[in-house]
Amino acid sequence: MKFLLKLPKEFIRLTFKLYIIQLIFLSIVKNMLTAKQIENFEKNGYLVIEDYINKDQRDALMNRAKELIDDFKPPSSHSVFTTNEQERTSDEYFLSSGDQIRFFFEEKAIDKNGNFTVPKQQSINKIGHAQHALDPVYKQVIKELNFPVIGKQLGIKDPRQLQSMHIFKQPSIGGEVGLHQDSTFLYTTPMSCIGFWVALEDANIENGCLQAITGGHSTPLKKRFKLAADGGTEFEILDDSPWPDQSLDLLEVKAGTLIVLHGQLPHYSAANTSKRSRQAFSLHLVDQNCQYAEDNWLQSSI
Ligand code: FE2
């Protein structure tokens, strides 16, 4: 190390500056989509990018989730997450989670008497919805992943990181997520929601990978999930025509893959009946130039 002391300070400063510029350049290049990728997103309603999140970043998110669950003291009433119609729990704990870090259980993790059927670490369906703004580990990794750069290339003029979720799809009990469009839950006028879903572990047919109707993003928005005038939530039906008569494509991916989802793309994931979990992290962007509905279920002060 002694030789470093002999180098002129100006040289060391310049070398450091060049290193930083190189890092920024590499980060921008990594997030630049090719014309073909943009064309694929517009044609299919989704885009798959392999090796987007590295092992260190995946481990950081999974380890942090484990720590948060260790520190979590389950409340007396258990919130359960499901997108299956009226089964969704719309209690205060869920409705006020837009600017909090909260924990939602797998349906099968709690029996009829309210007792856990599995250890706490295997009981959580998801953590959400504001760790992107509140937790230092999530904040750092999300900053590195820089989804807004991709969002801008796909049409969002002024991206807002609105909602984050760490999704577990626990072994054997990970619940199904019904066919839905993300703009149902994060509605703006005009619609602008784009979802970023990263596989923290391999996702395949056995453990409940994403499935999508390729090209189905031209389907009108079916419904909105919103705050009901008399409290709680409700679905407002916007279009009652059937889903496109087209089978779902399996989006089987390796850990590290990013899937970018158009807000109107119909997608689904089956229950996890395997012995392996299927952890994923997702973050949704909306355009701040579009009007965010005042009666959206998710309201955030951050
Ligand atoms: Fe979704």
Q: How many domains does the chain have?
A: 1
Whether residue 130 lies inside any domain: the answer is yes
Compute, in angstroms, the gap from residue 5 CA to the centroid of ligand 1.
Answer: 55
Helical H segments across 54-115, by residue range: 55-71, 92-95
Cis peptide bond prior to 129, omega within 30° of 0: yes
How confident is the model at residue 116, as a pLDDT? 86
Q: How far is the CA of 267 from the centre of ligand 1 (A)?
A: 6
Q: What is the pLDDT of residue 73?
A: 87
Residue 176 placed within a domain: yes
Dist. CA 56 → ligand 1 center (Å): 25
Domain interval for residue 77: 45-292
**Residue 205 belongs to some domain of the structure:** yes
Contacts 24+ apart (CB under 8 A), 76-82: 78/105, 78/110, 78/114, 79/103, 79/104, 79/105, 80/104, 80/105, 80/106, 80/107, 80/110, 80/125, 81/105, 81/125, 81/126, 81/175, 82/107, 82/175, 82/176, 82/177, 82/178
| Any domain includes 49 | yes
Cα–ligand 1 centroid distance for 25 (angstroms): 32
- Give the Cα separation of 300 and 9 in Å (integer): 47
Centroid of ligand 1 to alpha carbon of 262 (angstroms): 10
| pLDDT at residue number 87 | 42
Q: Residue 264 C-alpha to ligand 1 middle, in angstroms?
A: 10
Distance between CA 50 and CA 88 in Å, rounded? Answer: 32
- The CA–CA distances, whole Å, from 154 to 42, 136, 191, 219, 272 equal 8, 28, 13, 18, 31
Distance 181 CA to ligand 1 centre (A): 6
Domain CATH for 118: 2.60.120.620
Any domain includes 33 = no
User: In this structure, is residue 286 part of a structural domain?
Assistant: yes
In a domain, 40, yes or no: no
| Digitized pLDDT (tens) for each residue of the chain, 302 residues in all | 555 556 677 887 888 888 777 766 666 667 899 999 999 999 999 999 999 999 999 999 999 999 999 999 886 655 565 554 334 455 788 888 999 999 999 989 988 777 889 999 999 999 999 999 999 999 999 999 999 999 999 999 999 999 999 999 999 999 999 999 999 999 999 999 999 999 999 999 999 999 999 999 999 999 999 999 888 889 999 999 999 999 999 999 999 999 999 999 999 999 999 999 999 999 999 999 999 999 999 999 98
Query: Is 148 a domain residue?
Result: yes
